[in-house]
């Protein structure tokens, strides 16, 4: 050719891919940290359910059906963490939110599969799944800031 311009796309494509990965990772991590704060706020609120006597004196009010669980002691609230774990390949980053407290798993899953209280009401206190569901729109907002045409299902 007498006159031409050359363009090399591979290096730019790799840089663009790294930029997209970094932006999406920041958005997802920020969202999970928001969910973490949301959970602490919700689980720190007093319950409106039944009042129980505590051994040694005193009482506490439990959460009513449909409320986030009332946490009498702070172990669960203080142990909700967001971690980055290795992805399955070089193109993925996996984030994890949860707790090492056994109480977290018990609250989330012990009343699944139709387990009911004696009065027939669902006694579950789903907390993590519920918070992720309730905060889903926040993730869409964060992703749209980074990627204007994105949305999660």
> Can you point out the beta strands (E) in 14-70?
51-53, 59-61
Instruction: Compute the chain's Rg from CA coordinates.
Output: 22
Beta bridge mates, 94: 85
pTM of the model: 0.72
| 3 pLDDT more than 90 | no
For residue range 31-79, list pLDDT tens digits in order.
889 999 999 999 888 889 999 998 889 998 888 878 888 877 678 888 8
Q: Take residue 20 and report the two structure tokens written for it.
A: 């997209």
User: 20: which residues sit within 8 A by CB, 6+ positions away?
Assistant: 147
Distance CA 61, CA 46 (A): 7
Distance CA 34, CA 136 (A): 11
Task: Give the distance from CA 45 to its chain's centroid.
Answer: 18
| Inter-residue contact 39 to 80 (CB < 8 Å) | yes
Angle, in degrees to the nearest 10, between helices 9-43 and 136-146: 150
C-beta atoms surrounding 13 within 10 Å: 10
pLDDT at 6: 62
């Amino acid at each position: 050719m007498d006159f031409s311009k050359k363009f090399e796309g591979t290096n730019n494509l790799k840089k663009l891919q790294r930029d997209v990965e970094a932006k999406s990772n920041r958005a997802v991590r920020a969202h999970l940290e928001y969910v973490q704060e949301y959970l602490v706020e919700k689980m720190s609120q007093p319950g409106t359910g039944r009042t129980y006597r505590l051994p040694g004196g005193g009482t506490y009010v439990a959460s009513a059906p449909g409320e986030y669980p009332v946490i009498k002691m702070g172990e669960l609230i203080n142990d909700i963490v967001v971690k980055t774990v290795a992805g399955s390949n070089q193109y993925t980053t996996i984030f994890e939110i949860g707790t090492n407290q056994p109480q977290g798993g018990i609250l989330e899953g012990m009343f699944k599969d139709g387990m009911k209280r004696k009065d027939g009401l669902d006694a579950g206190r789903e907390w993590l799944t519920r918070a992720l569901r309730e905060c889903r729109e926040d993730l869409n907002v964060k992703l749209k800031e980074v990627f204007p045409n994105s949305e999660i299902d």
